[in-house]
Amino acid sequence: MNKRRCGILLHITSLPSPYGIGDFGATAYKFVDFLAETRQSLWQILPLNQTCTVYGNSPYSSYSAFAGNHLMISPDFLVQEGILSKSDIDGHTIFPNERVDYKIVTDYKERILRVAYKNIHRKLGKDFEFERFCNENAYWLDDYALFIGLKEHFHGVAWSDWPEDLRNRKDEVIKDWKEKMNDRILMEKFFQFLFFKQWFSLKKYCNSKNIQIIGDIPIYVTYDSADVWAKPEIFKLDNAKKPMLVAGVPPDYFSATGQLWGNPVYDWDILKETGYSWWLRRIEYNLKRYDIIRLDHFRGFVSYWEIQAGEKTAVNGRWVTTPVKDFFDTLYRHFPSLPIIAEDLGEEIPPEVREIMSIFGIPGMKVLLYAFGEDLPTNPFIPHNYTKCCVVYTGTHDNNTTKGWYKKETSPNDRNRIQQYLGREVTEDNIHREFIRLAMMSVANMVVLPMQDILGLGEESRMNFPATSENNWEWRLLPEQITPTLIKDLKETTVIYSRE
């Protein structure tokens, strides 16, 4: 993380694929080849967690902090392995190419995965690789597979409304349900086995091309998840195991009423008493999945905004401090060379956050879309104020594209400041190229560019609108958008600014 490097931000679901959503198939490997050809050494993705339509398909809202998204499993590779036949995956609806239709994709993928399980389930007991996967991941996989089976059985009802003995995880009740749902549990474990087998194959290919994966860890977990059901003691819940206090952020750049995420907040006193064992396992697990970790909402590890459950907005909350120094001391004792990037955006970041980042040498994020306000000379996001220890982005998955931002969100004064800073004419047609050049020539060690900005796409191609739950996470890359000219230009820019 101390060398001049660059890469691309593109989530797996945005990759081209004939099955309605990006997956771990052949086009993912082609994208890695594109990264290598253009001398990129980083590929940043969003969380790989299981998503669901109930939570707007957000990778930041999942039934598990550990389970992978089975929608990313490649049908073609299952055919190659002999788990499915070509006829099993054919005859599907014609999927749209430019957007993900999650309902259609989910119905299709779950149907063919169930067929795959039916075809092979009798052999799983003799499959050493599958058995080893289940044993190594039992600490989360057993609870997750049972949780998913119970969610189906109770027609999607939240775990807090299940029968009391099951909600409270009475040993004999859990044992009985595991026996009742043995087949469904095995099937869910099989889906996770396929997911991780394909993911680690892709990661190995990336690493063979000297490309590292930057993975994203959401700070919080979803209340209706296997994590909270299995470990309620580490969250601030009431006697009925309902959240007393929930997470969010106060009013900021993205929302005048703040963001009411609704996730249960951690009981940091309990976490400390247990030696942060849950977080240690989560970090260890993600260090296997990725090469570098981006900690989402890093500020929340120092002090977090908690809101009384039942509030309609995030306005009426309060900041609560954590044992942050002790926490990171513990992490670094277990993982001395922990490769972390801090997502330190949003509300005004207090000095104690910067202090922790400085003590542990954790780079933060610099976003060019935030750089050209009235405070330009002293703005921390403007390139002349960068240090080497940071990661520069034109924008993130939560922002408009650079072109969309310039067209819709900048004032005449903003545009004038951009032109003054660059010393030349800037237009809607060239703003993305100018920002890419600014990022690449900066002193920052690492640069990550959203694929949409490399392509010069407009607002219609943004990935997420924060504080909304519809029509997000759907954008997809089209194969024809990667042209010889684009490859040549990106490679030249990478080489000339010494980011190979």
Task: Name, in order, each residue with C-beta under 8 angstroms of 29's C-beta and a sequence gap of 6 or more.
Answer: 202, 205
Q: Can 296 be counted among the known catalytic residues?
A: yes
What one-character-per-residue DSSP string does 55-107 give?
Answer: GTT-TTS-S-SS-B-GGGS-HHHHHHTTSS-HHHH-SPPPPPSSB--HHHHHH
Query: How many alpha carbons lie under 13 Å from residue 442 in its C-beta half-sphere?
Result: 31
Q: Can 284 be counted among the known catalytic residues?
A: no
Cα separations in angstroms, 115 against 70, 105, 121, 145, 198 = 14, 15, 10, 18, 18
Strand pairing class (259-264; 292-295): unpaired
106 torsion bin: left (phi>0), alpha (psi -120 to 50), beta (else)? alpha
Q: Which of 23, 224, 227, 343 is catalytic?
A: 343
- Most distant CA pair in the chain: distance in Å? 73
286 torsion bin: left (phi>0), alpha (psi -120 to 50), beta (else)? alpha
Q: Which of 143, 216, 344, 398 is catalytic?
A: 398
Q: Which of 23, 76, 143, 296 is catalytic?
A: 296
- Dihedral of CA 176/180/181/183: which sign? positive
Q: Can 343 be counted among the known catalytic residues?
A: yes
Q: Which residues make beta-bridge pairs with 150?
A: none
3 state DSSP class of 287: helix
Catalytic machinery residues = 296, 343, 398
